[in-house]
Amino acid sequence: MTESPEASGTAPGRHDATAPSRLPHIPGFAPRKRAGSPKKDGRALRDRVPRSALAALPDDTLRPGAVEAVEESNRGRIPDLVPIRVGRMAASPFAFLRGSAGLMAHDLARTAATGIGTQICGDAHAGNFGLYADARGGLVIDLNDFDETAHGPWEWDVKRLATSLVLAGREAGADEDTCRKAAYDAAGAYRRTMRLLARLPALDAWNAIADEELVSHTDAHDLLGTLDRVSQKARKNTSGRFAAKSTESATEGGRHFIDAPPVLRRVHDTEAAAVTASLADWRSTLSEDLLPLLARHSVHDVAFRIVGTGSVGTRSYVVLLLDHRGEPLILQVKEARPSALLPHLAAVGFKPEDGGHEGRRVVLGQKRMQVVSDILLGWTRVDGRPYQVRQFRNRKGSVDPAALATDQLDDYGRMTGALLARAHAHSADPRLIAGYCGKNDALDQAMADFATAYADRTESDHTHLLTAINSGRLAAERGV
């Protein structure tokens, strides 16, 4: 006699939840049953790498000298622009840190590491956070520079952020307690934000801490006036405003750039044609729904433009596009060199990514870390060299951490620490990092200790750079 479905306990349309699943595991998704707990795994890492161990600064007799490191990082750059880069790095110890991501990576590779990997910025200093426009023109705040991005240790970004806050505070004239507190608060905000994200459903955590909630979440109320002023300035920082100052009517119609050497200069026809032709490949890296938008613009001119501190000497162009009304859209086509972190990742157990396209690395790294990215972000090649392409002056604005008032520095530290945690949680399980970071301030203390010691080292490196400039070993062009 055949047993009925009811008698067997299995009604039509149902299956026994205790039986093995009928559904196969799909690669790229989490398994239905996990062994252990990510939070417990993170907590267990403290036995191997105590949080206090993150404070240690390596005493490496094989460390390259500061001047040698700057000379090495200048290889492959346009020789005529190298003195401008050196001059910008010579402005202050904070400026030196901004241009020496590779030297710091060398040092970080000789410090304690948990082995937890995530997509890191690679250059998460306090000046690389800022405002920019989303697709509808609204302003968001996030990390905004990714030339060095790679898969690597989360600690490296936190240590670079904390160190930069100490140096920025010293440059602003803050006392040591204030500088150390900014580093301490940045690490604390990172830890608390990661714990918050670990408790949320995955989808909620992905978009958590909306920008309008950021000030309250990080108790950064003293920053409100500064952020409001930066926002007002950012809203005016558009392609139209840049074009109004940097272009003029062309005799053949349309507009072209105005030479303003050494920062901006028009390029010869062959070079301009190569940059323009590269935009065809860039279009193929964008979402297809954007192609009709680009089809309403035409390319009118190309110029070379110097950017940044660490990027000076690399090839970087601005491209002027005009729509049917003559309204401008400016693109930046910026050379993408291998990450300065690349030679040092293997030392802490991270396999460097295979060669490939450096512009693609930068773009994908940026999209993995930001909640909202530039809709025109893509990559291409010009004369065989890899480039990233993005909107230029897309309502960008930033806080100068070295110009903050004393009572704002720790607020800014907490805000940037929270943003960094949100960015890391996109590619690492926040439960794992939160389990390691813990509830008390052991991590915060260690990061602040490291940041203070590394800031001292950076000041020494900066002094060596100034000595090399004064002796004539390095040429420097200041104020550019």
pLDDT confidence of 1, banded at 50, 70, 90?
Answer: very low
Determine which helix (DSSP H) or strand (DSSP E) holds 468, and give its type and residue range.
helix 442-471
With beta carbons less than 8 A apart as the criterion, state whether 423 and 189 touch: no
> Is 419 in contact with 215 (CB distance < 8 Å)?
no
pLDDT single digits (tens) 30-82: 887 766 799 999 999 999 999 999 999 988 788 999 999 999 999 999 999 99
What is the pLDDT of the chain when averaged over all its residues?
A: 93
Euclidean distance between the first and final Cα of the chain, in Å? 93
Residue with tokens 């901006």: 264
In the predicted structure, residue 453 carries a pLDDT above the cut 60: yes
Q: Which of 340, 335, 337, 301 is nearest to 315 (CA)?
A: 335
Per-residue burial over 222-234, b = 16 or more CB atoms within 10 Å of its CB, e = otherwise: bbeebbeebeeeb
Q: How many angstroms separate the CA atoms of 235 and 450, rounded?
A: 37
* pLDDT value for 353: 73
What digits encode the pLDDT tens for the residues 140-194?
A: 999 999 999 999 999 999 999 999 999 999 999 999 999 999 999 999 999 999 9
The bridge status of strand 255-257 relative to strand 264-266 is: unpaired
